[in-house]
Structure 1
Amino acid sequence: MEKDDYDYDSLPYEWPVRTHMLAGAAAGILEHSVMYPVDCVKTRMQSIEMVRYRGIIHAMSTIQQKEGFRRLFRGMGAMVAGAGPAHAMYFAGYEKLKYNFTLYANDGVKNSSLANGVAGGFATILHDMVMNPAEVVKQRMQMYGSRHESILRCIQSTHQTEGIRAFYRSFPTQLIMNVPFQAVHFVIYEATQERFNPDRVYNPVTHVASGAMAGACAAFITNPLDVCRTLLNTQELSDRDLRVKGLRQAALVIYRTDGLSTFFRGVTARVLYQMPSTAISWSVYELFKYLLRPAIESKRELYVTNQQRNTPPVCSSPSIPEPVISSTVSCKNTAP
């Protein structure tokens, strides 16, 4: 089998967008579902009103003993509902933009860190437009002592008491956090793939390792912004002594709580959450690309074959001496 048969990663830009969207949706749902308990712990550890936990294991055991095992999965439905469409737009946007930026900005070189970073930043905007409301509901359900009985009740209560803006209060902060996060994430992932998997064959080990490394680096760098986002998402109208309206106010409140160290609360939980999350996300996404390629290629070949069959033969017009009296010129190359 030729090398091109294995080079599944070079998805041509004319492939249907639904191919990337399907693979991305599957990756996003699986990623967030598997790692949801760790995400719950991260949210609580980042909160400035948190119950004091000594670490991730202590937090999980405490929640399970005092609130029940199901508490670790509270609000998961909101995350799954948002993760599917958000990651579908995320990966589809990234693949399309990466191709175009690489082609036009880097003279078609296969891998460009600049193109990967810019494409990742733009893809993040598409992702966060869908994901931000789901994040608000999810984090409010995860908080200790949450008064919301269900996801639907949380949505209704938030909308009635705070309006639609509550679902996007942290959107600017989330963008400020996620654009550099995803830029670092994609650059490191593509760079490690170029180093350890230069032929871009389907190799689960390199996809998992590259994804984990990219997620860990990006998570650590952007943790201070994630703490600010958690504060903006979880404050509610009943918190009359604490009304934070933007990133600047959030940063000041967090700093006054316990100094600079407050910005790195939950950093271990976040890194340990992001490492397997991004590893799962990339491995599932790359697997779906690998599995879907033969079907798409067969359809493409069939389309090209049909186009060739339906194209009429091109015949050259013979040289006809002047003057031409007949109004009909035959396509056959016969003598006049």
Structure 2
Amino acid sequence: MIYMYMHRNSNNIRMKRGVEGKGYEELSAKYYGVCFVGGMLSAGITHVAITPMDVLKVNMQVHPDKYKGSNIICGLATLWKEQGPYSLWRGWSSKLFGYGLQGGFKFGLYEYFKNFYSADDAFFANNNNNNNKNKTLIFFLSSSSSQIIADVALSPFEAVKVRVQASHPLFAKGLADGFPLLYRTEGLSGFYRGLVPLWARNLPYSMIMFSTFEHSVDLIYRNMIQRRKQDCSIPQQLGVTCLAGYTAGAIGTLISNPADNVVSTLYNKKAESAMQAVKSIGFANLFTRSLPLRIALVGPVVTLQWFFYDTIKLLCGLPTSGGGLARPEGAEG
């Protein structure tokens, strides 16, 4: 369906005004390449940086009785005492490559799909209310389209990461021995055991995160700063990016927490199906288990991702993200 839509509108990609009024005649492969590399570097680096928190989160989800009532400091201390300091960095290589690839596809394809969908005049109406609704629809479609592909790239790395971080006795030391071991023991299906729950977690999160970010950027410039983006200094633009990024990350985390618990349970084979995982976790626990830690974890990570991503775009001569859509050739401004 997406392919048919893209093929039908492929001739409309040429832009009259380009990205944020910067005068690009069309959104070239170079532009999307910068977005892909920016997303890959920003996501990979930030996820590696918070590996200890991620290890704790996975263990709290997979071994809830052991960490019941523990705060972040106590949980990290327990891991350090029982498994040594190296345990806090288990899975770092899976995070670097897995979330790096996911970030590249997620950010790069989001930019691509956003401009593809916005090239259709049918998405734009004359009155502002409809126009805002249509923008949100484009953000939802673009983020979900990119996330589906990004999670296919992430899933094998996530499968290895969760097992490395939470298996006792130790499943593997890292990605190098974990990848072939998982393939030998479970086959190709082992890499994608949690793909559907991964989509269930990341699709709503991505849709809410990107849409919230876009509308937050627009709101900050229009109502708080009351100046156009291009009239603001680079520090001001990156400040807007960080504020909108944190807001988007925190709201997206609330939406995705139930599926995140299911993913960890499935990848550690604590359940054989999503329904069995939900029953074993408990409906209320789906929303509350590891939620404070995830908010503390995801908010700063998403903020840093957007900061690094937009910094890379600025260094390459591109505008910062959010707050507008490119219009198709011949469309009125």
TM-score interval (norm. to shorter): 0.7 to 0.9
Unaligned runs of 5+ in 2: 1-16, 126-130, 223-227, 319-333
Question: Match of 1:318?
Answer: none
Question: Match of 1:94?
Answer: 110
CA gap 1:183/1:33 in 2 versus in 1, 3 angstroms = same
Question: Match of 2:83?
Answer: 67
Name the SS of the counterpart of 2:170 in structure 1.
Answer: coil
**TM superposition shift of 1:277:** 0.9
Cα separation, 1, equivalents of 2:64 and 2:188? 25
Cα separation, 2, equivalents of 1:128 and 1:115? 20
Question: Match of 1:313?
Answer: none
Give the partner amino acid of 2:252: A
1:33 is matched with which residue: 44, 48, 52? 48
**TM superposition shift of 1:131:** 0.5
Question: Match of 1:138?
Answer: 161
CA gap 1:207/1:119 in 2 versus in 1, 3 angstroms = same
- Count, aligned residues: 282
Could you report, residue by residue, the CA deviation over 1:173-192 in whole angstroms, capped at 9, with x for unpaired residues? 11122111100001110010
Map 1:99-114; keep pairs closer than 5 Å: 99-104=115-120, 105-107=122-124, 112-114=135-137
Give the partner amino acid of 2:28: E
Q: Contact (CA 8 Å) 1:140, 1:146: kept in 2 or not?
A: no
**TM superposition shift of 1:92:** 1.2
1:221 aligns with 2:237: no
Question: Match of 2:187?
Answer: 163
**TM superposition shift of 1:61:** 1.9
1:127 aligns with 2:142: no
Map 1:234-273; keep pairs closer than 5 Å: 234-235=268-269, 244-255=271-282, 260-273=284-297
**TM superposition shift of 1:102:** 2.3
Cα separation, 2, equivalents of 1:185 and 1:67? 35
Scaled by the length of structure 1, the TM-score of the pair is 0.77
Cα separation, 2, equivalents of 1:262 and 1:107? 38
Question: Match of 1:328?
Answer: none
- Tell me which stretches of 4 or more aligned residues in structure 1 moved more than 6 Å: 8-11, 108-111
Cα separation, 2, equivalents of 1:221 and 1:262? 11
Name the SS of the counterpart of 1:65 in structure 2.
Answer: helix
In terms of Rg, which structure is larger?
A: 1
Cα RMSD, aligned residues only: 2.6
Aligned residues with identical type, % of pairs: 22
1:14 is matched with which residue: 13, 28, 33? 28
Cα separation, 2, equivalents of 1:75 and 1:171? 18
